[in-house]
Amino acid sequence: MDSIRGDFMQRNTRIRQFLVVAGAASLMLATTVAAGAASTKGTYSAVDAKLVPAAYKSGTIQVATDATYAPDESVNASGTMIGFDVDLIHAVATTLGVKVNENNVTFDDIIAGIKAGKYVIGNSSFTDTLAREKQVNFVDYFQAGEGVYAKSSSTLKFTGFKSFCGVTVAVETGTTEQSDATAASKSCPSGKKVDVIPFPTQTEANTAVRSGRAQFGFLDSQIADYVVSTSKGVFKSVGSAVNVAPYGIATPKTTAGSGLAKAIEAAVKTLIANGTYAAILNKWGVSAGALPLSKITVNGATS
Amino acid sequence: MSTQEETPLKVVPVRHYWTWVGAAVTVLLVSMVVHTLLSKIPSGTYSCASTHPFRHCTPRMVWRFGWTVVGHWFTSHEILKGLQITIEATVLAMVIGIVLGLLIAVMRLSKNRILSSPAWAYTWFFRGTPVYVQILVWFNIAALYSNFRLGVPYSSWDFVHFSANSLSPLTVGILALGLNEGAYMSEIARSGLISVDEGQIEAATSIGMTRAQTLRYVILPQAMRVIIPPTGNEVISMLKTTSLLSAIGITELLGAAENISATNYEVMQLLITASLWYLIMTTILSIGQFYLERHFAKGALRTQPLTPLQRTRADIRGVLSKFRTHPDVPKTRARTT
C-alpha cells in the first residue's frame, strides 16, 4: 500500500514541481517582456553602431544641454540632469555603443560651441530651422510648437502674433521664440511694438513673468504646459501652440559630424521600433510631440 | 708737491648685458603675439581657377581673429547704441555710488551709534551679496513689493506713488549698480577720511572749528588725494560691471554684441568687437585719472610725475643723445689731489 501511495505521490510531486518551474519561468519571461516594453534604457544594436564614424567610436562624446527647460532637460535637487532629452540621448548612446558626457551650458552657447569643436552633440530642444541648418546638422526626433503662458490674474489672451503688440514678452536668448517675437513686432502698429526681453536662461524669463516685468512667457509648448502645471496656480496657459516645427539633435557640419547624424537617425528609428521612444515620451508626459517614423530624418526643416 | 695733469676721465655707463638679452627676448615674444593676431586660417572653402587641362584650387584663407567681421561691426549702429547705453549706465551708477558712498562714510565716522550702525549694516549687506544677484532682485522686486510710494511713513499721505514695474529695466539696473557701488565707495571714502592725521583734527578743534567745518575745510581736501586713485579704479571697473545688465535684457555694449552674434554665429568676433570698445574706453578713463591725480598731488610732491607725453619726449632725447657727435662731457672733473 505504501509503495503504491509512494509512486502516486512521486508522480504528483513531479507534476507539481514541473508546474511550479513552468509557472516561474513564464512569470520571469512575462516580467522581462513587460520590463523590456517599458524600459527607457535602449539596447545595443550592432547594425546602428557600425554607422558611427571612427572619430567618435572610442572616447567620450561631449553633449551640450541647457538644463533650464523642464521636462525636456532640467537639473534635479541633487544636481543630476534629468528630462526626456537626457533619457533619449542616453538611449541613443546605448544603442550606438558610445559613451556620452553631459555639459550644462547656456542655450545660445551651444551651436557656437559645436562649431568651435567644444561639443559634438547639441541636445537641448533645438527647433530645426533652415537658418540653423547652415551651422550644424540636425536629426529630427520630436515636434513641438511655441506656447504662451501668463500669470493667472492676467486678462490678456493669445490668439496669434498680433496679441503680442504693445505687450512685454519674456523669452530665452537665442531661441526661435526670440526671433519670432521680434519679427512679430514688424506687423504691429507703431507705438504698439512688441517689447521682447531676452534672458540667459528660461528660469530668469519665468521669474520676469512672475514678477510682472513681462506679461507673456513665450517658449516651447510642452515646456509652457509643464511650467503652468508645476506653478501651483501662479501661471495659466493662454491660447494654443503656434509654429509647430521639428526638434533636432545637433551635430557638427563636418564629414564625421554628418556620419554621426546618420547613426543617430538610425538609432532613433531603432528606439521607435523597440518601444523605448514611446516609453521615454510617456514617462515625461510629452507623447503629444512624438514624431512618426517617416519624419525621423536628417536636416528636415522646412522653414 | 707737484700737481698732476688734469686728465678728463672716460666715463662709461654700466653695461647691463642681461637686460639686453631680456629686451631681445621680449621683442621676440611681442613680435610673435602680433604675428598670431594677424594670422590667417583656411576657411574650408576653395577658390578654383580652371586652367586646361587641370583645375587649380587654392584654399580660401580668413583672419583667425575675424578682423573683417570685427571691422564691419565696430562702428555699426547697434554697437554704438550699446556703447552709449554703457557710458550712460556707468556715469549714472557712479554718481549715485559716489554720493551715497561719501554720505555713508561720514555716517560711519559719526560719534552717534544710531548713525554709524546702519551705515555699517548698509556696507555689510551690499558688499555681502553678489552684484549679479542684486541686479536680478531689483529687476524682479515686484515679486516682493508691487508698489512703491514716497510719503509720510506709517500713514497714507504720499507725494509720489508708482508701481515697481513702471521703472524701466535700465533704471532699475542703474539703481542696483549704484547701491552696490555706494557700499564699496563708502569704504574708499572712509579710508581717505581716516588717512588724515588726527593732529589736524585736534588743531582744527583747538581754534574753534566745528566738526562740520573741520570736515569741509581740513579733512576732505587732504582726503581727496587718497580717495581719487581707488575711485578712478572703481569707475573703470563699473564700465565693465555694466555688462551684467545684459542679463536683464538691456542692450548695452555686450548685449548688443550678443544679439548680433545670436543671428550670425560669429561669437568670437563680436566679443572681440565689444572688448576693443571696452579697452578704448578704459584707456581714455585711465588717462583722465592720471591727470586728475596729478592735479591733487600739486601740494604734496616736489616734482610732478611726468605725463606720458613728457616721458616719451625724454626717452627720445635720451636715445638721440647717444648718436650725437660730441657727447656731453660731464661737468664735474675728478679730483686727484
Of the pLDDT bands very low, low, confident and very high (cuts 50, 70, 90), residue A29 is low
Band (pLDDT 50/70/90 cuts) for residue B320 is confident
Note the pLDDT of residue B228. Answer: 86
What is the domain partition of chain B in residue ranges? Answer: 39-66, 75-298
CA B24 to chain centre: 31
Give the residue from A151, A169, A173, A185 with the most B CB atoms within 10 Å of its CB, the best one to mutate: A173
* A208–B142 C-beta distance less than 8 A: no
- A293: which DSSP letter? G
**Burial of A120: CB neighbours in 10 Å, binned 0-12, 13-18, 19+:** buried
Interior angle at CA A263, CA A262 and CA A269, nearest 5: 90
Contact A63, A214 (CB under 8 A): no
CB contact B285 to A (< 8 Å): no
Task: Identify all chain A residues contacting B262, using CB atoms and an 8 Å cutoff.
Answer: 108, 173-174, 178
CB pairs under 8 A between A and B: 50
Smallest CA–CA distance, residue B83 to chain A, in Å, is 19
Identify from B65, B267, B270 which residue to disrupt to test chain A contact, counting A C-beta atoms within 10 A and taking the largest count.
Answer: B267
Q: What percent of chain A has pLDDT over 90?
A: 56
Nearest to B262 among A174, A197, A208 (CB): A174
Per-residue cell: B236: 573703470
Q: Which CATH class is domain B75-298?
A: mainly alpha
pLDDT digits (tens, 9 = 90+) for A212-268: 999 999 999 989 988 998 888 899 999 888 888 999 999 999 889 999 999 999 999
Distance CA B43, CA A125 (A): 29
The SS3 of residue A58 is: coil
What is the CATH number that goes with domain A146-244? Answer: 3.40.190.10
Name every residue whose Cβ is closer than 8 Å to that of residue B170 and which is 6 or more positions away in sequence. Answer: B85, B89, B245, B250
Instruction: Give residue-wise pLDDT tens across range B164-220.
Output: 888 889 999 999 999 999 999 999 999 999 999 999 999 999 999 998 899 889 998
pLDDT tens per residue, range A74-98? 999 898 999 999 999 999 999 999 9
pTM: 0.76
Q: Is residue B56 very low, low, confident or very high in pLDDT (cuts 50, 70, 90)?
A: confident
Q: What is the pLDDT of residue A23?
A: 62
- Where does the pLDDT of residue A36 fall: very low under 50, low under 70, confident under 90, or very high at 90 and above? very low
pLDDT digits (tens, 9 = 90+) for A178-209: 999 999 988 899 888 999 999 989 999 999 99
Which residues are paired to B149 by β-bridges? B161
Question: How confident is the model at residue A1, as a pLDDT?
Answer: 47
Residue A33, pLDDT score: 47
pLDDT for B113-157, tens place per residue? Answer: 999 999 999 999 999 999 999 999 999 988 888 888 888 888 888
B288-311: average pLDDT: 81
- Per-residue confidence band for B4, with pLDDT thresholds at 50, 70 and 90: low
User: CA A288, A294, A297 angle in degrees (round to 5)?
Assistant: 95
Q: CB of B68 within 8 Å of any CB in chain A?
A: no
Residues of chain A with CATH 3.40.190.10: 46-144+245-295, 146-244
Whether A50 and A89 have beta carbons less than 8 Å apart is answered as: no
A46-144+245-295 topology per CATH: D-Maltodextrin-Binding Protein; domain 2 (3.40.190)
Closest CA to A107 of A183, A193, A179: A179
